[in-house]
Structure 1
Amino acid sequence: LNHRAIPPPLMKSMQKANKGQMKLDKMLEKGTKPQETFTKEIILRSVAQFVVCNDQALAVANNVFFRNCLVSMRPKTKRSELPSTHDISVYIHNQCVDWLAQLKKDISVSTDYYKEKTTLTNP
């Protein structure tokens, strides 16, 4: 944005407001609710969603730079809290099995309902 297009009083107030770099803590205070608890399961679920939804390789979990990125988001993270490729593949497999079981249950319920409505009784 061209600084000459902004009126000088407004430009001065904008410069005063932008004195320091915003940190993640301050950004979270502005409106988004921070994560209340930080557990290994939450990290595992988030990384698995990243792998599946973004079509990433499972090996990304063991990538040093990716692990450093996770640690930089929460510096108190221990190595044991970070998921491995094996953890992610098992989690994804279990989630798929659970989802398919629920889908099978939903389908069977709906077919039972259909059978009840379509059966004819002999008078």
Structure 2
Amino acid sequence: MTVTYVIEGSEVTGLERFWEVIGEAVNGPGGYFGRNLDAFADCLSGGMGTPDDDDFVIEWRDHAQSAQALGHPETARYLRRTAERAHPTSRVRFDTELTEALAGRGPTLFDRLVEIIRERTRPDTLRLN
């Protein structure tokens, strides 16, 4: 039986809220399903609330609202925070990505989250509504 996890896109107001929404969708109130991009990717690989047989769907309702909330301004905010903690050899990459995000170009956090879901799950797992 396929399990469906619903992300209410209208509730996603930024990256921190996304972590709460996806955590609760998969694991109930106060649930955890990653608090950074790497942990999210790991959670999608199994053992963190999703069925062991990968028979699940993520239905992202009102995804356009999430895309806006996780757009270039939120991406720039994320990149600033992440760059502060990054290894010096990674700072050039973060600075380049930050410059692009501030100019409204390049992938957004929404794009990255969708990409992670598509890379770590079956092709039909993500449904954007």
Query: Per the shorter chain, which TM-score range?
Result: under 0.3
Please, what TM-score do these two structures have when normalized by structure 2? Answer: 0.24
Please, what TM-score do these two structures have when normalized by structure 1? Answer: 0.24
Which one has the largest radius of gyration?
A: 1
The structure showing larger relative contact order (alpha-carbon pairs under 8 Å, at least 6 residues apart) is: 2
